[in-house]
Chain A
């Protein structure tokens, strides 16, 4: 059975792209979220194996969402999606409990490497 992923990003473009990369590698994208609040709700409901999380989102940012998710499930596996120049935020996310990160613009191979590391 393939592993399940929840994709959180406020841009449809990014969600579609990440989703495609993951689906082509046989992961099962079981849900999407556009805001931090939604991400936490969907996580609770779907219990995915992996969450990809954008840092900047409306209605609770990605970092706070990571904090909430880790509170709900300390073993949650969250992969941060960041842009260049967000290093300090990424560090904050890691300290909040994120397990790895990828940097936009995404290279499919890098995304998959990170996903494999997190799910290992």
Chain B
């Protein structure tokens, strides 16, 4: 074999093993008697040894071997590892990571021997009391729940809101017992591509007949198939995996995107001629394309744990360095996101976490003095909120000090900021300005002038948004909102004059008619009264500097990001389309409220409005 071909795969999997090693070392640090952690570390190191030897990375292999030897002794010893040994293992894990990076980049590490020496000398000095009893800890096999059945349900093709119907089915069966392994996951049932077929495991003692009757009672159910899941559910539900290069998935996704655009063209073509054969074929093609699109999107989804699990080690190290005590809690590890988005998240999240440790969490003394527990708490969580994935970094530290930021803004003569009416959003914008950081001293972590602006730019480029809420003395919450997939997003197409623009549906709350009677003037802005109060209006015609006036009846698109809303006045709402966002290098001078571009079925290029910039 040609090892070079496997370098990416090697690197990918190595990172997973390194994450396991670091996280389990952290567990051990808290509970040195956690033998399960020693075993997990041992397995990871052992795998790394085998992988690196296969790749011909002898330095990595030798270092892994030396670590493995030490771990072997730890496993055999009745005493838990002490702090000194844990420190040695932490250091060795770092060296291991470094040597892997070096090896992949074609540099054979020279200092592997330096890393191996202390491990070998430890192994030499170690006198196990009872070295012969090398027993594999028995792994208790997962007990298969009895009475588990596998169900496949198909919602009628002509049913409206098939995803909601599926949710209704799941809600009903949940009353009978435990619902397991729903496929596809509910997030993707809410996309247009969901074809109404889904499956799940159900643990219940009800009869098949009763189950089927209950499911059919949800309405619009075409068929129900029930099968015994066998005694070992693990086997029946465990997917068989194959690793695929992300670039290959990107290429397939891009083709599917083109296909989606072509499909839209075909639909319009068919609509123009009343030819039943063409219409039938068009329906068939569009159904197939939607199915394909759905499958590819699924293939791209990965749980956020893949990124979240890298952080505990970094947080621990940063806390130590700053003399802070920090407990990191992680929630919602199973939430799934497009891999490409996930990859982009690592740096911004790390940045926010470091920021929380450096600026948010106080020293233990300060905390105790203000009546808080000595250890600060940072919570990293993921959950679904409607069509978006929401990730939060919450700390219970000192909060953002407005006065200090304002002072700094004045020093730098950033105009227009006034302490009394500075809203949190404006504060965030201020913090987001390049080079604006309130760290009084430059530390290794943050405060290097690379601040929230980097995070925001990164997030915008993938269609997300960032919000901050803070309370002095209580802490700060950063909220990231992201689309679950980059690939294809439903959007509203709006028109002014003869120009068309796309607004991602994830940020559209509703559309209403512009009614002069419910419009009021508030200084420079017009405000429109809608159900829950008033929203400021902006006119797309003005934004894109189009002369002339629109038609007498104009629709208003209520755009919402988080709690902020604005009404966008357009000439006409053309309709809803699935669009494929394309990377878009903004020419200099492009108005800042464009977030990308897409091509409609007719081949017409259309700019995508960035909702976060409008509200």
**Are B190 and A87 in contact, with the CB atoms below 8 A?**
yes
The interface centre, meaning the residue of B167, B387, B532 with most chain A CB atoms within 10 A of its CB, is B167
Q: Does A14 contact B (CB under 8 A)?
A: no
Chain A residues with Cβ below 8 Å from B164 are 82, 87, 90-91, 94, 101
Chain A residues with Cβ below 8 Å from B447 are none
**Are B168 and A101 in contact, with the CB atoms below 8 A?**
yes
Residue of A nearest to B192 (CB): A87
**Are A84 and B217 in contact, with the CB atoms below 8 A?**
no
The listed residue (A91, A114, A117, A120) touching B186 by CB distance below 8 A is A91
**Are A91 and B167 in contact, with the CB atoms below 8 A?**
yes
**Are B161 and A117 in contact, with the CB atoms below 8 A?**
no
Residues of A90-104 contacting chain B, CB below 8 A: 90-92, 94-95, 100-101, 103
Residues of A77-117 contacting chain B, CB below 8 A: 82, 84-92, 94-95, 100-101, 103, 113-114, 117
How far, in whole Å, are A88 and B490 apart by their CA atoms in the complex? 13
Q: Does B576 contact A (CB under 8 A)?
A: yes
Q: Does B296 contact A (CB under 8 A)?
A: no
Chain B residues with Cβ below 8 Å from A114 are 219
In the assembled complex, the CB of B423 is this many whole angstroms from the nearest CB of chain A, namely: 25
Given A87-B190, A88-B386, A91-B167: A100 touches B160 (CB 8 Å cut-off): no
Given A88-B386, A92-B386, A95-B171: A100 touches B218 (CB 8 Å cut-off): yes
- Interface size class for chain B? 10 to 19
How far, in whole Å, are A103 and B220 apart by their CA atoms in the complex? 13
**Are A117 and B219 in contact, with the CB atoms below 8 A?**
yes
Q: Does B232 contact A (CB under 8 A)?
A: no
How far, in whole Å, are A114 and B165 apart by their CA atoms in the complex? 12
**Are A84 and B160 in contact, with the CB atoms below 8 A?**
yes
**Are A117 and B217 in contact, with the CB atoms below 8 A?**
yes
Given A56-B531, A88-B386, A92-B386: A100 touches B161 (CB 8 Å cut-off): no
How far, in whole Å, are A92 and B383 apart by their CA atoms in the complex? 14
How far, in whole Å, are A11 and B168 apart by their CA atoms in the complex? 26
How far, in whole Å, are A103 and B162 apart by their CA atoms in the complex? 11
Q: Does A10 contact B (CB under 8 A)?
A: yes
Chain A residues with Cβ below 8 Å from B531 are 10, 56-58
Q: Does B505 contact A (CB under 8 A)?
A: yes
The listed residue (B168, B217, B505) touching A120 by CB distance below 8 A is B217
The listed residue (A10, A58, A91, A103) touching B190 by CB distance below 8 A is A91
**Are B386 and A89 in contact, with the CB atoms below 8 A?**
yes
Which residues of chain B have a CB within 8 Å of any CB of chain A? 160-161, 163-164, 167-168, 171, 186, 190, 217-219, 386-387, 505, 510, 531-532, 576
Which residues of chain A have a CB within 8 Å of any CB of chain B? 10, 56-58, 82, 84-92, 94-95, 100-101, 103, 113-114, 117, 120
Top 9 nearest A-B pairs by Cβ distance? A90-B164, A103-B160, A88-B386, A91-B167, A58-B531, A87-B161, A94-B167, A87-B190, A117-B219
8 CB < 8 A contacts A-B: A10-B531, A82-B164, A85-B576, A87-B163, A94-B164, A94-B167, A100-B219, A117-B218
